[in-house]
């Protein structure tokens, strides 16, 4: 196997890139932080010093395309506001780089198609930053669902919400694509799909009451939705920028298995009818990053490909349509 660590360039040095991804890249075995792309010159010296990044691996949004000539960079990781993902993934692919794109993949299904096509055309891999596919408690939920340890699944529910965010772009529909559903509700959708191993076929949805109509004039403050899954399974989702919540619950014939802290960067906890789950805490992002580097090195698919990102954007769109129309929306 190729022993070389693959070089990653982070595009967008905001709170997730700085708080989670760059530190995780200090723990990875198969990839490392090789470069940065930023529109904020004042961040450059701090990042260069902290992470030992040479001048030649520092780009801004205008010089970004010349990254194609940089042999140090194998992978571009797009960590920008949602509406900017499509442009930078497509430019990264055109520069001949493999790409990781943060969730939600894009704000329209059409953009997802363009991103997938661009990576295919360039012969490069595309994955989405779905870190929980590498987290032991969530993986245990997947196993219990798949092996039907507690019998057939009957019902699922999940909620993810937190107090109003400070990032202004998250409250602007043009940049975010929507409110908490786009940002954190997507984790509930992911949970329903990976625990059941199926995809929703229809949805109804209701917008919650706005406690601050001015702040939330552009996007929903909270939202609940009901997915009809195959085999009569119902999945109830809830998401909010006004209320903290964080759980994933699966009710099966012989009992309930659930994570009472499900989607955070750490601190997962869970239980089954047999007792509490007990797994090591891991660095999810480091695992995610190493898995993608290994997928490239070993020429095998990533478990979190662009197609999965597109599926989720399709589901997000269907939930918004159900919310807007007040009708049940069939998902094709």
Of 18 and 255, the one with the shorter C-beta distance to ligand NAD is 18
Nearer to ligand NAD, 82 or 246 (CB): 82
**Span 172-201, contacts to ligand NAD by CB under 6 A:** 183
Applying CB under 6 A, which of residues 51, 162, 169, 279 lies at the interface with ligand NAD? 169
Catalytic residue among 77, 130, 187, 241: 187
From candidates 6, 24, 53, 80, binder to ligand NAD by CB under 6 A: 80
Stretch that binds ligand NAD, among 74-82, 212-220, 273-281, 311-319 (CB under 6 A): 74-82
Cβ atoms < 10 Å from Cβ of 109: 16
Q: Is residue 123 a contact partner of residue 299, using CB atoms and an 8 Å limit?
A: no
Q: Give the residue from 124, 121, 118 showing the smallest Cα distance to 106.
A: 118
Question: At its nearest, how many Å lie between ligand NAD and the CB of residue 12?
Answer: 4
Residues 106-135 that bind ligand NAD (CB under 6 A): 129, 131
Binding mask 35-54 for ligand NAD (x = CB under 6 A): ----xx--------------
Complex with ligand NAD: residue 15 or 26, whichever CB lies closer: 15
Residue 277: phi, psi to the nearest 5?
Answer: -75, 150
Residue nearest to ligand NAD (CB): 14
Q: Active-site residue 187, yes or no?
A: yes
Q: Judge whether 103 counts as a catalytic residue.
A: yes
Task: From 79-87, 88-96, 293-301, 317-325, give the range in contact with ligand NAD by CB under 6 A.
Answer: 79-87
Nearest distance, CB of residue 15 and ligand NAD, angstroms: 3
Picking from 294, 1, 256, 238, the residue whose alpha carbon sits closest to that of residue 141 is 256
Catalytic residue among 32, 77, 88, 103: 103
Q: Which of 5, 16, 228, 271 binds ligand NAD (CB under 6 A)?
A: 16
Interface of this chain with ligand NAD, residues 271 to 310, rule: CB under 6 A: none
CA distance 239 to 207: 10
The whole-angstrom distance between residue 3's C-alpha and the CA centroid of its chain comes to 28
Q: Is the peptide bond before 33 cis (omega within 30 degrees of 0)?
A: no
For ligand NAD, give the closer residue by CB, 21 or 153: 21
Among 12, 179, 242, 305, which residue interacts with ligand NAD (rule: CB under 6 A)?
A: 12
Range in contact with ligand NAD (rule: CB under 6 A) among 78-86, 212-220, 252-260, 302-310: 78-86
Q: How far is the CB of 21 from ligand NAD (least distance, A)?
A: 9
- From 79, 189, 229, 293, residue interacting with ligand NAD (rule: CB under 6 A): 79
Site residue total, ligand NAD (CB under 6 A)? 19
Residue placing its CB nearer to ligand NAD in the complex, 89 or 205: 89
Do 268 and 259 form a contact (C-beta atoms < 8 A)?
yes
Q: Which residues bind ligand NAD (CB under 6 A)?
A: 12-17, 39-40, 79-82, 102-103, 129, 131, 167, 169, 183
Which residues have a catalytic role annotated? 103, 187
């Amino acid at each position: 196997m190729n022993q070389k660590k693959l070089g990653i360039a982070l595009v967008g040095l905001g709170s997730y890139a700085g708080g989670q991804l760059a530190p995780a890249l200090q723990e990875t075995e198969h990839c490392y932080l090789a470069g940065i792309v930023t529109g904020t010159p004042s961040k450059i010296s701090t990042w260069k010093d902290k992470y030992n990044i040479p001048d030649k691996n520092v780009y801004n949004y205008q010089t970004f395309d010349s990254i194609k000539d940089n042999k140090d960079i194998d992978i571009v990781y797009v960590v920008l506001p949602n509406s900017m993902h499509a442009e930078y993934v497509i430019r990264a692919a055109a520069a001949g780089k493999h790409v990781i794109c943060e969730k939600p993949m894009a704000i329209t299904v059409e953009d997802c198609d363009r991103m997938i096509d661009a990576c295919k055309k360039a012969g490069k891999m595309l994955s989405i930053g779905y870190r929980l596919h590498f987290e032991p408690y969530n993986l245990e939920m997947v196993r219990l669902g798949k092996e039907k340890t507690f019998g057939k699944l009957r019902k699922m529910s999940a909620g993810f919400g937190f107090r109003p965010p400070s990032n202004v772009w998250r409250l602007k529909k043009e940049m975010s694509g929507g409110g908490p559903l786009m940002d954190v509700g997507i984790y509930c959708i992911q949970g329903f799909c990976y625990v059941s191993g199926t995809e929703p076929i229809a949805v109804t949805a209701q917008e919650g009451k706005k406690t601050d109509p001015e702040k939330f004039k552009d996007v929903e403050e909270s939202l609940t939705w009901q997915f009809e899954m195959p085999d009569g399974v119902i999945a109830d989702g809830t998401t909010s920028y006004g209320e903290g919540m964080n759980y994933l619950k699966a009710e099966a014939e012989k009992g309930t298995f659930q994570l009472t802290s499900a989607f955070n960067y750490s601190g997962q906890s869970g239980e089954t009818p047999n007792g509490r789950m007990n797994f090591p805490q891991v660095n999810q992002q480091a695992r995610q990053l190493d898995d993608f580097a290994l997928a490239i090195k070993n020429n095998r698919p990533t478990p979190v490909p662009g197609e999965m990102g597109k599926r989720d954007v399709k589901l997000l769109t269907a939930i918004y349509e159900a919310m807007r129309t007040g009708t049940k929306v069939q998902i094709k």
